């Protein structure tokens, strides 16, 4: 299981590794843009794919837009995702997402270390998102997810749900958010029943009036604060987004707790800081993100998006 351990180390940091829960992959960034903002998707709430972090943003999604993402890690570990949004009669704007992770090939042996062939391990998350406007300025959204994990001929599966809301103060540029992620139940475990990595986040974000700059702070995992050691700072995600022009958007962020675990002592250290850029060219877009993992190595992610609605309408 070396690859599985390495993967969780790369993505979640040593603190998360101690839990050794099967479904920690639910905390993976589903695409490059989400990785660039350390999971705090509210910073780009008016983008069409922001609903993957908080389903109350589904109203900003473009109809019939498809976004494909791919990432390659050490030891043959690969992840891929797809995001699609559309209008469904009598339902309204609806989003769909798929996240797939493959951990490569492992050697299967018996108790005497005789090789019996190879086997694989992979995880799959399939979600559907929708929202309802409680008031004109306060929508509530939900993402229902089927979650499954497979190792050789063994499997684990269950259901999870994300519930989010937001409140815009358009005249001031302020946005306030709240989201409960990964609440649900594991129907079948590998050996024992495990709890899901449920987190409750709240955030505050500000868009400047005369400068194309947004910045914000989000507190992640407030429901676990009393159970963990460390300071309040370790739960904070800071993020910024700048629209350089109509086509180019730049991102930067850091999960301060993860950064404290990754950075070394002395000198300028960018460990735990994420960067990204999105280039939007009418019906086509490309997003790149880089996550600095300190002495381990950096992680590169890339997305390709296409507005299928433009072609379907022709």
By CB atoms closer than 10 A (0-12, 13-18, 19+), residue 171 is exposed
pLDDT value at 227 more than 50: yes
In the numeric block, the tokens 């540029």 are attached to 173
Tell me what pLDDT residue 5 has. Answer: 41
Q: Tell me what pLDDT residue 265 has.
A: 62
| pLDDT over threshold 50, residue 15 | no
| Choice among 13-22, 68-77, 164-173, 203-212 with the minimum mean pLDDT | 13-22
Is the model's pLDDT at 132 over the cut of 80? yes
Q: What is the pLDDT of residue 90?
A: 83
Which range of 12-21, 31-40, 116-125 scores highest in mean pLDDT? It is: 31-40
Please, is 295 exposed, middle or buried when counting C-beta atoms within 10 Å of its C-beta (0-12, 13-18, 19+)?
exposed
> How much is the pLDDT for 98?
94
pLDDT score at 11? 40
- Higher per-residue pLDDT: 116 or 12: 116
What confidence category does residue 130 fall into, taking pLDDT thresholds of 50, 70 and 90?
very high
Q: Which of 21-25, 72-76, 80-84 has the lowest mean pLDDT?
A: 72-76
pLDDT (0 to 100) of residue 135: 82
DSSP codes of every residue in 7-31:
HHHHHH-HHHHTT--GGGGGGS-SS
Kindly report the backbone phi and psi dihedral angles of residue 74, in degrees, each rounded to the nearest multiple of 5, phi listed first. Answer: -65, 160
pLDDT of residue 17: 33
Residue of 145 and 233 predicted with greater confidence: 145
- Cβ neighbours of residue 172 under 8 Å, at least 6 residues apart? none
Mean pLDDT, rounded, of the chain: 83
pLDDT over 90 percentage in the chain: 37
pLDDT on residue 14: 32
* CA quadruple 265, 13, 199, 83: dihedral sign: positive
- Model confidence at 274, in pLDDT bands (50, 70, 90)? very high
Q: How far apart are CA 38 and CA 217, in angstroms?
A: 11
- Taking only the tens place, the pLDDT of each residue in 156-207 is 899 999 999 999 987 888 999 999 999 999 998 887 788 888 999 999 999 9
Which pLDDT tens digit goes with each residue over 42-64? Answer: 999 988 889 999 999 998 888 88
Say yes or no to pLDDT of 7 above 50.
Answer: no
**CA 88 to centroid of chain Cα atoms:** 25
272 CB contacts (<8 Å, ≥6 apart)? Answer: 254, 255, 256, 258, 259, 260, 261, 262, 263, 292, 293, 294
Q: What proportion of the chain, given as a percentage, has pLDDT over 70?
A: 85
Query: Which pLDDT value is given to residue 262?
Result: 75
The pLDDT confidence band at residue 97, using thresholds 50, 70 and 90, is very high
Per-residue pLDDT at 60: 86
Is the confidence at residue 140, as pLDDT, over 60?
Answer: yes
- Find out whether 153 and 144 touch, Cβ atoms under 8 Å: no
pLDDT > 60? residue 3: no
pTM assigned to the model: 0.83
Q: Which of 38-42, 135-139, 149-153, 230-234 has the highest mean pLDDT?
A: 38-42
The domains located in the chain, with CATH, are: 22-312 (2.40.160.60)
């Amino acid at each position: 299981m070396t690859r599985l351990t390495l993967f969780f180390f790369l993505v979640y940091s040593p603190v998360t590794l101690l839990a050794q829960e099967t479904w920690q992959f639910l905390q993976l960034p589903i695409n490059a843009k989400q990785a660039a903002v350390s999971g705090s998707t509210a910073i780009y709430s008016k983008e069409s794919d922001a609903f993957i972090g908080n389903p109350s943003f589904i109203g900003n999604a473009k109809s019939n837009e498809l976004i494909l993402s791919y990432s390659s890690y050490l030891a043959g570990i690969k992840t891929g995702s797809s995001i699609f949004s559309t209008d469904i009669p009598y339902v309204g704007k609806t989003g769909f997402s798929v996240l797939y992770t493959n951990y490569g090939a492992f050697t299967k042996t018996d108790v005497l270390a005789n090789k019996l062939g190879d086997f694989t391990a992979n995880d799959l998350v399939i979600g559907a998102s929708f929202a309802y406007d409680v008031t004109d300025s306060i929508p509530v959204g939900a993402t229902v997810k089927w979650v499954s994990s497979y190792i050789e001929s063994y499997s684990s599966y269950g259901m999870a749900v994300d519930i989010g809301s937001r409140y815009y103060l358009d005249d001031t540029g302020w946005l306030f958010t709240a989201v409960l992620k990964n609440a649900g139940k594991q129907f079948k475990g590998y050996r024992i029943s495990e709890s899901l990595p449920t987190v409750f986040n709240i955030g505050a974000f500000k868009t400047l009036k005369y400068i194309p700059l947004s910045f914000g702070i989000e507190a992640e995992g407030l429901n676990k604060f009393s159970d963990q050691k460390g300071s309040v700072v370790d739960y904070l995600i800071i993020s910024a987004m700048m629209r350089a022009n109509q086509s180019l958007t730049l991102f930067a962020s850091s999960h301060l707790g993860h950064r404290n675990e990754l950075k070394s002592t002395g000198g300028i250290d960018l460990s735990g800081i994420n960067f990204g850029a999105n280039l939007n060219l009418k019906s086509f877009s490309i997003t790149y993100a880089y996550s600095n993992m300190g002495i381990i190595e950096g992680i590169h992610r890339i997305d390709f998006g296409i507005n299928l609605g433009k072609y379907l309408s022709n």
